[in-house]
Structure 1
Amino acid sequence: MVLRLRKASLCVLIVRYAKRTDDHQWLLQHKDVTDFESRRHLAMMMFPEVKEDYEELHEMLIDRSQLLAESFEYIVHAESEALHGGLFMEFKNEEATGPGVLREWFFLVTQAIFNPQNALFVACPSDRRRFYPNPASKVDPMHLDYFTFSGRVIALALMHKVQVGIVFDRVFFLQLAGRHISLEDIRDADPCLYSGCKQILQMDPEFIDSDALGLTFVREVEELGSIKVVELCPGGKGIVVNSKNREKYVNLLIQHRFVTSISDPVSRFARGFADILSKSGEHKLFFRSLELEDLDWMLYGSESAICVEDWKAHTEYSSYKETDPQISWFWKAFT
């Protein structure tokens, strides 16, 4: 209560003085006394510090035409300790190196991982930036290894403070944090299921008790082009949905759709993410210490307009002066 009354001062102190060697677990569990900057600061200290010495970095030489496959080999087969110092990245037959090349690699490999054509993740219908694991990913026998790889890549991007242009859907974020998923949480991931469940819960009791819907405690799942009927509970085929058990039915339906069916991919992603943290057992604490909107900012950034005046104030010119006509034309194009 004291900290809530002094929230602004506390947040400034956290960012200014909190160190990696401190124990922040008690504070991470009280998000209501912190703001985004202080939560991000505390969460980032759960990662190792990126080294400046190139000899301590994990080196990668990637062929652009084999970006995903070669990146997978370099990352998933590396010892986690070898990744804790950071990464040094080069593209084959290209001379450029440094932070800019590493940022480009992070962006390109993340776009490849989350490309729906690779069947690892599903984009939300209402927001194509948001993703959660694809239940059908198991058609690839190596899919779980790729989820471990994905977890490592996202954690490394956060550690290097690189925004990768994707964000997690709430159902994925909550599972990584070890939280329960409710009906309201699936609104973006599956609008049709959300709408259908809402209607079932709001229907007149007499209508639903008449068995007009013909529902039982089962779920139809499409696998390799065929429909498979899965019982949501023992004997589910014989349990008719009525006004007394419809809440249980909706809850079991949601849990099977967004928890049971993707539990292995989520677990392997979490394991890969945990490999990069200083203490591997803290991955749930990392996600619990943040709001989903916090992680959005860290992975995607703001969608607000660029501040041109701030950009101009921090621009360095080579072979040009700020007063040259070409520079004036350039800035005029952005205003």
Structure 2
Amino acid sequence: MRLFKKGSSGPSNNTKNRANSSPNVNVKSKGSGGGTVSADGKSTVFRVPIPDSVQPGQEFQVYAGNRIVRVKCPPNSQPGQFLQITVPIDPNESSNNNNSNKPNAGAANKSLPPDSPNVCPVEDRDGGPPAYMVTIPEGIRGGSQFPVTIQGQQLVVTCPPNAAPGTKVRIVPPPPPPDDVESSVGISGNPDSKRKLMADEETQLFEVQVPQGVKPGQSFALLAAGVRVLVTCPLNAGPGQRIRFKLPKALTTKRKPRSEAVEIKLSYDKDGWTRTIRVSDMKFQWVRMDDNGDIDTNTRFDAEKSAYVRKLTFQPGGDERVRDGVMTLVPASDAFVDSRVKAYNGEVLVSYSEIAEAQVKGFEEKAVWFQEKCQKLRVEWSEGHMRINVRRNFLLEDSVDAVMSLNRKDLRKVWRFEFIGEMGIDAGGLTREWFELVTQEIFDPDMGLWMSSETNQMCMQINPASKFVCDDYLVYYRFLGRVMGKALFEMQLVNGHMVQYIYKHLLGWPITFKDIATIDEEYHQNLKQLKDLHENGEDLEMLCLDFSTTQEFMGAKEEVDLVPGGSNIEVTNDNFPEYLEACLRYRMMDRVKDQLTELLLGFFDVIPEPLLTVFDFQEIELLMCGLPKIDMDDWREHTEYSGEYEHVNGDYPTCHWFWEVVDEFDQEMKARLLQFVTGTSGVPARGFGVLQGNDGNIRKFTIHGVHVGVCLYPRAHTCFNRIDLPMYETKDELREKLKLAVTMVATGFDIE
């Protein structure tokens, strides 16, 4: 697809096509047949991106005009890169060019939805492909995306950086695919990719009726044999028509949850973000279901519903030992992750069926499963192992030099450590000591790289001022990412708990407006007050706010734009949702984007991202930091009571039942309860008596009594280490509601 700003002559790559069943052809310039005709009139040139699943040397299939051609991926190329191909002109295609280039040609016999109201056909006197002028809707700014329907195709257009609402952009839609309903259903990119993906597994055929309201090219979610999948309506199908798709039998086999916590999650059906499997390529994708069970397609920021997921794109070229990458925050519905893990030789080590099955296991079983898969990825001892020598007095410096000199294959070899000048053979003990000491030192706030969270002194967050610590400060974050990945790979423990949203970034989990409160409760409350004013119709222009914020670095205050030129953009009632979105993006990523990018690049140098899809953000903290050793007597002794329980100092049936239920919990559930109330599974070294709150002062674990009419489920206030516990009438009701609240917090659902 090509996109032109009105009055310009140059192309832009800011437009995506989600609907086309083979969108991997981008016409380089106008010409007969949708390509560039050579001087001799015998060939056409196309630019095509390499699909995600294609490796160097493999062939893949693309649409070139109205034909399907096969392309071989060059040795030095990788998925996402564009190739220029030259295709001989088909005489039959040339003879039909005049008809095929007319808008809506051939559409008379199809039941296609009408074009969007902001779409207007453009007459092209040069005989080129059909073009359209699209008016940018209100609320859309440079870089934002919005959907349009053209000739039955639902396209997603990216607003040019220098455009604004009301501006017209020129769109040249890609050619439609062949009219084969079954072969085109849900297939994105390479038509062979789906068949190839399932070639090694037995499949089951499903037939479903396209729901009312679903347009051609639009995705909809459904349950197939108990598995929620994402299906794309073919371009030549519509509501009421029956379409078919296949799923691996291993995926649709009824799997029974292995733990009570998972059973609760799966049985609790409520509006919220959930991870589904795309039928098109078996990749995992986040979707949000509305109250009617349909996919929420709202594109404008909503503080209650919108969510964002980090997207990490690896860059080609550069030093093979240290990959470069770019990280952005994209709408959660645009985020997807591979569901297969391959070895360096291309062999599939873990399939999507195995990953989907592991997702319903209990935490302990997941940990065992994860370790088994890492064993498959580990380089055999006979192929080489690494001996790392460090000086205890210069532990961090020596460790950084050693680890950063390794390539990615070396990171999966067996490591053996030696502390120079000390006797001892590493049989595992020195390795454990090294991981503990090196992570303890790098997380030390005195290093200047990390700082205690404002809402929880047990959690560490990236120090935005770390760029002033040293010139090569980013190396330390890449190093730590590799160390954390290697620790997880070897089932070693990391001596440091991070703030919750960083674990979400590691997993590619949705980030919401509520997550701001986990790092700065006061800032979150200020934004909520502005939100209340906006909802009550107050004039926000009276507050004299703009799209900028003030940050303090090394004692000096600095004004930072939340968007380009933000200090010159006034916050109004019309653009307030965009202001909230900008605040979330800045707090959750942009202010520490460089450091966070290096941390994740180092982590994924060791751990394949698909393996992490089996864990939630609570579980990944428990896996990396270990289950805490909780002294129940110490916990009870240093618990305070407030609200309805204050006057009896906890001498109330509900409080007694609470501790009896917690005593019944296994170690994992106790840790999850601690995460639920305090924001982390970490316990202070000196016990619960020195538990701190968001102000740095002692803030003991608190049970706050409320009536059931105030809230039906227990709810947590992590900045105060407080749990609101309704005055239930029975112990069984308390047990049920407490377990549900504790286990559902990791799903992102709101159970109020």
Which has the higher Rg, Structure 1 or Structure 2? 2
2:435 is matched by which residue type in structure 1?
A: F
> Is the alpha carbon distance of 1:129 and 1:57 closer, same or farther for their aligned partners in structure 2, counting shifts above 3 Å?
farther
Pick the aligned partner of 2:436 from 107, 110, 115.
107
In structure 1, C-alpha distance between the alignment counterparts of 2:424 and 2:528, rounded to whole Å: 54
2:540, 2:571 within 8 Å by CA — same for their partners in 1? no
> Is the alpha carbon distance of 1:215 and 1:27 closer, same or farther for their aligned partners in structure 2, counting shifts above 3 Å?
farther
In structure 2, C-alpha distance between the alignment counterparts of 1:27 and 1:245, rounded to whole Å: 45
* Secondary structure of the corresponding residue to residue 518 of structure 2: coil
> Is the alpha carbon distance of 1:235 and 1:73 closer, same or farther for their aligned partners in structure 2, counting shifts above 3 Å?
closer
* Secondary structure of the corresponding residue to residue 67 of structure 1: helix
> Is the alpha carbon distance of 1:263 and 1:82 closer, same or farther for their aligned partners in structure 2, counting shifts above 3 Å?
same
Structure 1 residue 23 corresponds to structure 2 residue 350: yes
Q: TM-score, normalised by structure 2?
A: 0.36
What is the Cα deviation at residue 120 of structure 1? 1.9
> Is the alpha carbon distance of 1:176 and 1:123 closer, same or farther for their aligned partners in structure 2, counting shifts above 3 Å?
same
1:36 is matched by which residue type in structure 2?
A: F
Pick the aligned partner of 1:57 from 385, 395, 400.
385
> Is the alpha carbon distance of 1:179 and 1:68 closer, same or farther for their aligned partners in structure 2, counting shifts above 3 Å?
same
1:27-75 superposed Cα distances (whole Å, 9 cap, x missing partner): 5357763322343344434535667859943112221111110111111
In structure 1, C-alpha distance between the alignment counterparts of 2:535 and 2:572, rounded to whole Å: 8
In structure 1, C-alpha distance between the alignment counterparts of 2:576 and 2:384, rounded to whole Å: 57
Query: Aligned residue for 1:78?
Result: 406
1:4, 1:32 within 8 Å by CA — same for their partners in 2? no
* Secondary structure of the corresponding residue to residue 88 of structure 1: strand
In structure 2, C-alpha distance between the alignment counterparts of 1:96 and 1:144, rounded to whole Å: 33
Pick the aligned partner of 1:231 from 556, 561, 565.
561
* Secondary structure of the corresponding residue to residue 495 of structure 2: coil
Query: Aligned residue for 1:189?
Result: 519
2:496, 2:625 within 8 Å by CA — same for their partners in 1? yes
The structure with the largest helix share of the pair is 1
In structure 2, C-alpha distance between the alignment counterparts of 1:171 and 1:35, rounded to whole Å: 23
Query: Aligned residue for 1:119?
Result: 448
> Is the alpha carbon distance of 1:242 and 1:44 closer, same or farther for their aligned partners in structure 2, counting shifts above 3 Å?
farther
Bigger shift: 199-208 or 255-264? 199-208
1:33 is matched by which residue type in structure 2?
A: V
In structure 2, C-alpha distance between the alignment counterparts of 1:102 and 1:61, rounded to whole Å: 11
In structure 2, C-alpha distance between the alignment counterparts of 1:54 and 1:186, rounded to whole Å: 48
1:208, 1:242 within 8 Å by CA — same for their partners in 2? no
Bigger shift: 143-152 or 54-63? 54-63
Q: Which has the higher contact order (CA 8 A, sep 6+)?
A: 1
In structure 2, C-alpha distance between the alignment counterparts of 1:55 and 1:4, rounded to whole Å: 40
In structure 1, C-alpha distance between the alignment counterparts of 2:371 and 2:504, rounded to whole Å: 19
Query: Aligned residue for 2:615?
Result: 290
> Is the alpha carbon distance of 1:91 and 1:201 closer, same or farther for their aligned partners in structure 2, counting shifts above 3 Å?
same
1:54, 1:88 within 8 Å by CA — same for their partners in 2? no
Structure 1 residue 8 corresponds to structure 2 residue 338: no
1:232 is matched by which residue type in structure 2?
A: L
Query: Aligned residue for 1:132?
Result: 461
What is the Cα deviation at residue 3 of structure 1? 5.6
2:362 is matched by which residue type in structure 1?
A: D
2:546, 2:566 within 8 Å by CA — same for their partners in 1? yes
> Is the alpha carbon distance of 1:129 and 1:221 closer, same or farther for their aligned partners in structure 2, counting shifts above 3 Å?
same
2:436 is matched by which residue type in structure 1?
A: F
In structure 1, C-alpha distance between the alignment counterparts of 2:631 and 2:388, rounded to whole Å: 32
How do residues 212-227 of structure 1 correspond to structure 2 at under 5 angstroms?
Answer: 212-227=542-557
Query: Aligned residue for 2:108?
Result: none
What is the Cα deviation at residue 81 of structure 1? 2.0
Bigger shift: 170-179 or 199-208? 199-208
1:178 is matched by which residue type in structure 2?
A: G
Query: Aligned residue for 1:154?
Result: 484
In structure 2, C-alpha distance between the alignment counterparts of 1:155 and 1:207, rounded to whole Å: 49
Structure 1 residue 33 corresponds to structure 2 residue 366: no
Seq. identity, % = 24
In structure 2, C-alpha distance between the alignment counterparts of 1:40 and 1:194, rounded to whole Å: 35
* Secondary structure of the corresponding residue to residue 80 of structure 1: coil
What is the Cα deviation at residue 94 of structure 1? 1.7
1:40, 1:294 within 8 Å by CA — same for their partners in 2? no
Structure 1 residue 273 corresponds to structure 2 residue 603: yes
* Secondary structure of the corresponding residue to residue 203 of structure 1: helix
Q: TM-score, normalised by structure 1?
A: 0.76
In structure 1, C-alpha distance between the alignment counterparts of 2:360 and 2:456, rounded to whole Å: 30
In structure 2, C-alpha distance between the alignment counterparts of 1:52 and 1:99, rounded to whole Å: 17
Query: Aligned residue for 2:507?
Result: 177
Pick the aligned partner of 2:528 from 182, 198, 212.
198
1:114 is matched by which residue type in structure 2?
A: F
Bigger shift: 195-204 or 141-150? 195-204
Query: Aligned residue for 2:593?
Result: 263
Bigger shift: 71-80 or 124-133? 124-133
Query: Aligned residue for 1:251?
Result: 581
What is the Cα deviation at residue 252 of structure 1? 0.6
> Is the alpha carbon distance of 1:274 and 1:210 closer, same or farther for their aligned partners in structure 2, counting shifts above 3 Å?
closer
> Is the alpha carbon distance of 1:31 and 1:207 closer, same or farther for their aligned partners in structure 2, counting shifts above 3 Å?
farther
The CA RMSD over aligned residues, in Å, is: 3.2
* Secondary structure of the corresponding residue to residue 457 of structure 2: strand
In structure 1, C-alpha distance between the alignment counterparts of 2:429 and 2:421, rounded to whole Å: 16
1:140-192 superposed Cα distances (whole Å, 9 cap, x missing partner): 21111111111111111112211223233222122233344212122222222
The structure with the largest strand share of the pair is 2
